[in-house]
Amino acid sequence: MINVKPEVLAALEGNTDLLALLGGPYIYQLKAPEGLDKYITLFELTNFDSAWADGTAFMAEVHVQVDVWVKAASTSPIAAEVDKTMKSLGFKRTSSADLYEDDTKIFHKALRYVTEREVEGG
């Protein structure tokens, strides 16, 4: 098992164009604080061994979801910067969905990605 979340978080936080669109470093794992108008959350969907040799896993496949949340505006510019960043890390986008959350009145873009990486010690 590998942990790609710190790498993803650091890359998103290092994208100055993305931070400008968000109005600051509003990128969180799982849950954001209340009261923000624009922010990103991310979490790991799956993380499993995908290749073995001599009974030992040497590759892992990891699926990550990055969610863009924006009140009263389009999610597209922020989603485009997220996509650029994720692809620079070697992730492949597997899906995206435009959503609207009626209870919070916020636009939501769900972006799903996959990567395959070497397992340390594998």
pLDDT in tens, 1-29: 889 999 999 999 999 999 999 999 999 99
**Over the chain, what is the mean pLDDT?**
94
pLDDT of residue 121: 65
In sequence order, the 6+-apart residues with CB closer than 8 A to the CB of 71 are 37, 38, 105, 106, 107
The predicted pLDDT at position 57 comes to 86
CB atoms within 10 A of CB 70: 22
Residues of the chain falling short of pLDDT 70: 121-122
Q: Where are the domains of the chain?
A: 4-118
Judged by DSSP in three states, 32 sits in coil
Phi, psi (rounded to 5 degrees) for 16:
-65, -30
pLDDT for 52 equals: 85
CATH of 4-118, picked from 3.40.190.10, 3.90.1150.10, 3.30.2000.30, 1.10.3720.10, is 3.30.2000.30
